């Protein structure tokens, strides 16, 4: 019976366990002493943890992903070199001021912390898109389309008639389009910002086709959509370029690598901040 | 053993139930707790791709971005808490004002954020190097103490700082009268009558400015003799301040004790008078704030005050000259200081 009570006592003690909070080693090391008060490494670390450490964790985790997936090689350096040359040409005599305005003390710091990291991030997105190309195509349905937006249904119908009779799409757009939709060919995906019904028509097309007048009753306008290329295989390179520069896919890429890297947080402060600000990057329960 | 268990089956059954209950209770209490991880005696903050990142590595990363700012916060706080030497009256005034500021801040945050207001205050305090909500009073106490220390320093060094400031910003204390009008270009009959009555009364020359303001001025400052407070070149809207440009221009033209002619602003008609003497200015906290922040990059008054006080109570970097240089650079202090 005594043994049982002892076991129960140990088990009950476990209920006192709290959430994990990390500490630095040698936290009692004194950095400086003011009068009789010691300012320790542990105290400074606590103040760091009070000031949104999740941002730094995000940066560190991203660096580790970049280092593993797209290490700095000649190709990455070449991209960074090109961007550096562009920046120098653009800012010319004011290049030093430009660096200073963005918080970089030296050109090397700008190169390492900005240009190399950006080149790696772009390469990471490209890697994600290439590795998941078939799935992404099936999910986001890229199509090449042209769009006209008119203020009345009559204008939309007239435009459709002229296009069917062989009129140039862009010329017809210039004639009927009331806004910035000038009929230029563009690539869209299911994530693009276009009136929903027009986008659904475009991404749902399996062959080149021309829509009827699509009404946007809220904004009292009509769309005419022409799908010029419905087979993504015919413009793969353009798709890669388009998706790579799209912030939506850059984020999807990063999220994917956080998930595959089994990103796990072991500190409650950082965990709670991630829940608040970067919830989609957390996969642990 | 088996025989004993058979004989005591009821006790065994109860013990088993008890064990199950406790195990479930422990599970239930811990299921939502975040587990920690330690490797080689070092706490792990996170892992990704099988790589553990320690708290020490996070410290280094954060030190690079905000380390010296955090150290300065802790340094300044330690200096203020130990070096402040106020007499009993000053301490008492600071205590009262800190309590008032604390109560007002809580009320304002509660009104704005509702029930969760404590969290917002805690967040703001943490960003300033304090522990959390409970430190609000301490934060205000320390702020008032450093304000007082800066004031004492400026009083002792007025000859150094005041002349250039006085020439550039022409500081003054303003009292005013307003005959309020919704549209001064198209006054109503009643507004015009108020103005005429006031102008005739002032023309008689029998009123002191303060008495005249108390009787004729038409806003909340009337009861204090039209007291507006500290004013300088930067007070007008065209120079970044809050005051009507015509009112400001008239106030800035006056010499010590002079009363302006009637002046029209967007709010009505005014009489204005000013005090420009140093003694009058020294009654105003806003004067010290303006003086302390004037050309702050050249003078670094607050840093100088904190550093001088630190020297008095003693500061030891334990041989870390790099940290000392870094802190001085952050405080905009000369190497010689």
CB of B201 closer than 8 Å to CB of B213: no
| pLDDT band at B28; cut points 50, 70, 90 | low
Is residue B14 scored above 70 in pLDDT?
yes
Tokens of A30: 């004194």
Is residue B288 scored above 60 in pLDDT?
yes
Mean pLDDT, chain B, integer: 90
Instruction: Give A220: exposed, middle or buried? Use CB within 10 Å, 0-12, 13-18, 19+.
Output: exposed
CA distance B292 to B148: 12
Tokens of A265: 């947080």
Question: Cα distance from A153 to chain B (closest Cα, Å)?
Answer: 49
Contact list in A for residue B23 (CB cut-off 8 A) is 11
Q: Pick from B26, B34, B44: which is nearest to A14 by CB?
A: B26
CA distance A28 to A30: 6
| pLDDT band at B7; cut points 50, 70, 90 | confident
Question: Cα distance from B314 to chain A (closest Cα, Å)?
Answer: 5
Nearest to A270 by CA among B189, B23, B36, B276: B36
Is residue A154 scored above 90 in pLDDT?
yes
| pLDDT band at B310; cut points 50, 70, 90 | very high
Tell me, what's the pLDDT at B33?
Answer: 82
Tell me, what's the pLDDT at B333?
Answer: 82
CA distance A156 to A223: 7
Q: Is A47 in Cβ contact with B73 (below 8 Å)?
A: yes
CA distance B139 to B128: 9
Tell me, what's the pLDDT at A245?
Answer: 84
Q: Pick from A14, A65, A68: which is nearest to B30 by CB?
A: A14
Where do the CATH 3.10.50.40 domains begin and end in chain A? 141-234
Contact list in A for residue B67 (CB cut-off 8 A) is 44, 48
Question: CB neighbours (10 Å) of residue B35?
Answer: 11
Q: Pick from A4, A20, A47: which is nearest to B36 by CB?
A: A20
pLDDT digits (tens, 9 = 90+) for A33-79: 999 999 999 999 998 888 888 999 999 999 999 999 999 999 999 99
Q: Pick from B34, B310, B324: which is nearest to A19 by CB?
A: B34
Question: Cα distance from A244 to chain B (closest Cα, Å)?
Answer: 23
Average pLDDT over residues A93-116: 92
Q: Which chain B residue has the Cα nearest residue A48?
A: B62
pLDDT digits (tens, 9 = 90+) for B183-228: 999 999 999 999 999 999 999 999 999 999 999 999 999 999 999 9
Question: CB neighbours (10 Å) of residue A91?
Answer: 14
CB of A30 closer than 8 Å to CB of A39: yes
Q: Pick from B66, B78, B126: which is nearest to A37 by CB?
A: B78
The number of residues making up chain A comes to: 285
Q: What percent of chain B has pLDDT over 70?
A: 95
Is residue A14 scored above 80 in pLDDT?
no
Tokens of A32: 């400086």
Tell me the domains of chain B and their CATH numbers.
86-156 (no CATH), 163-281 (3.10.50.40)
Interface A:B, Cβ pairs < 8 A: 183
- ipTM > 0.85, yes or no: no
CB of A250 closer than 8 Å to CB of A258: no
| pLDDT band at A284; cut points 50, 70, 90 | confident
| pLDDT band at B303; cut points 50, 70, 90 | confident
The top-scoring range by mean pLDDT among A221-225, B10-14, B293-297 is: A221-225
Contact list in B for residue A5 (CB cut-off 8 A) is none
Q: Which chain B residue has the Cα nearest residue A38?
A: B78
pLDDT digits (tens, 9 = 90+) for A197-225: 999 999 999 999 999 999 999 999 999 99
| pLDDT band at A19; cut points 50, 70, 90 | confident
The number of residues making up chain B comes to: 337
Tell me, what's the pLDDT at A11?
Answer: 55
Question: Cα distance from B289 to chain A (closest Cα, Å)?
Answer: 26
Q: Is A263 in Cβ contact with B46 (below 8 Å)?
A: yes
| pLDDT band at B29; cut points 50, 70, 90 | low
Tell me, what's the pLDDT at B332?
Answer: 83
Tokens of B294: 């004037």
CATH number given to A141-234: 3.10.50.40
Question: Cα distance from A26 to chain B (closest Cα, Å)?
Answer: 9
| pLDDT band at A247; cut points 50, 70, 90 | confident
Contact list in A for residue B45 (CB cut-off 8 A) is 22, 57, 265-267, 270
Question: Cα distance from A260 to chain B (closest Cα, Å)?
Answer: 8
Q: Is B57 in Cβ contact with A267 (below 8 Å)?
A: no
B274 SS3 class: strand
Average pLDDT over residues B83-108: 93
Average pLDDT over residues B235-255: 94
Q: Is B131 in Cβ contact with A263 (below 8 Å)?
A: no
CA distance B105 to B103: 6
Tell me, what's the pLDDT at B167?
Answer: 94
CB of A214 closer than 8 Å to CB of A163: no
């Amino acid at each position: 019976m005594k043994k049982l009570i002892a076991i129960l006592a140990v088990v009950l003690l476990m209920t006192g366990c709290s959430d994990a909070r990390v500490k630095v080693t040698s936290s009692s090391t004194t950095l400086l002493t003011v009068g009789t008060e010691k300012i320790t490494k542990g105290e400074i670390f606590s103040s760091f943890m009070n000031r949104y450490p999740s941002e730094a964790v995000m940066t560190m985790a991203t660096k580790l992903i970049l280092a593993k997936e797209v290490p700095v090689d000649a190709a990455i350096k070449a991209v960074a070199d090109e961007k550096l040359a562009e920046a120098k040409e653009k800012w010319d005599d004011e290049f030093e001021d430009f660096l200073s305005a963005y918080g970089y003390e030296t050109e090397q710091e700008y190169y390492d912390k900005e240009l190399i990291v950006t080149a790696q991030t772009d390469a990471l997105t490209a890697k994600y898109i290439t590795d998941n190309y078939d799935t992404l195509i099936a999910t986001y349905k890229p199509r090449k389309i042209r769009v006209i937006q008119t203020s009345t249904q009559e204008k939309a119908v007239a435009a459709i008639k002229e296009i069917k009779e062989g009129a140039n799409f862009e010329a017809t757009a210039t004639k009927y389009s009331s806004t910035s939709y000038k009929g230029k060919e563009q690539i869209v995906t299911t994530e693009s910002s276009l009136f929903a019904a027009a986008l659904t028509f475009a991404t749902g097309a399996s062959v080149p086709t021309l829509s009827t007048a699509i009404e946007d009753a809220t904004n009292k306008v009509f769309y005419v959509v022409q799908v010029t290329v419905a087979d993504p295989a015919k413009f793969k390179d353009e798709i890669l370029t388009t998706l790579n520069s799209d912030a939506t896919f850059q984020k999807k890429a990063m999220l994917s690598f956080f998930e595959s890297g089994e990103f796990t947080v072991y500190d409650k402060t950082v965990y709670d901040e991630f829940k608040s600000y970067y919830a989609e990057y957390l996969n642990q329960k | 053993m088996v025989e004993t268990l058979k004989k005591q089956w009821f006790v065994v059954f109860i013990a088993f139930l008890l064990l199950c209950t406790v195990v479930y209770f422990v599970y239930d209490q811990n299921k939502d707790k975040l587990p920690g991880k330690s490797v080689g005696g070092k706490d792990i903050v996170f892992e990704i791709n099988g790589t553990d990142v320690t708290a020490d590595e996070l410290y280094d990363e954060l030190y690079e971005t905000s380390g010296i700012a955090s150290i300065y916060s802790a340094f300044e706080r330690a200096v203020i808490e130990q070096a402040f030497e106020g007499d009993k009256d000053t301490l008492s005034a600071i205590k009262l004002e800190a309590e008032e500021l604390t109560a007002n801040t809580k009320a304002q945050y509660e009104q704005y954020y509702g029930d969760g207001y404590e969290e917002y205050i805690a967040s703001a305090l943490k960003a300033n190097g304090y522990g959390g909500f409970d430190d609000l009073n301490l934060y205000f106490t320390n702020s008032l103490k450093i304000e007082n220390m800066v004031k004492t320093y400026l009083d002792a060094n007025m000859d150094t700082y005041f002349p250039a400031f006085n020439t550039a910003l022409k500081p003054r204390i303003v009292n005013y009268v307003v005959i309020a009008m919704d549209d001064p270009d198209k006054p109503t009959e009643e507004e015009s009558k108020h103005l005429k009555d006031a102008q005739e009364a002032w023309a008689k020359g029998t009123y002191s400015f303060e008495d005249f303001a108390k009787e004729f001025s038409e806003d909340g400052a009337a009861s204090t003799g039209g007291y507006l407070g500290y004013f300088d070149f930067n007070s007008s809207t065209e120079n970044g301040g809050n005051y009507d440009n015509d009112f400001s221009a008239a106030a800035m033209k006056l010499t010590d004790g002079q009363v302006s002619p009637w002046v029209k602003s967007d709010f009505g008609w005014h009489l204005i008078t000013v005090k420009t003497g140093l003694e009058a200015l020294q009654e105003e906290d806003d004067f010290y704030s303006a003086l302390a922040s004037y050309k702050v990059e050249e003078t670094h008054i607050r840093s100088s005050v904190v550093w001088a006080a630190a020297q008095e109570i003693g500061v030891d970097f334990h041989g870390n000259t790099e940290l000392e240089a870094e802190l001085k650079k952050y405080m905009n202090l000369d190497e010689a200081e």
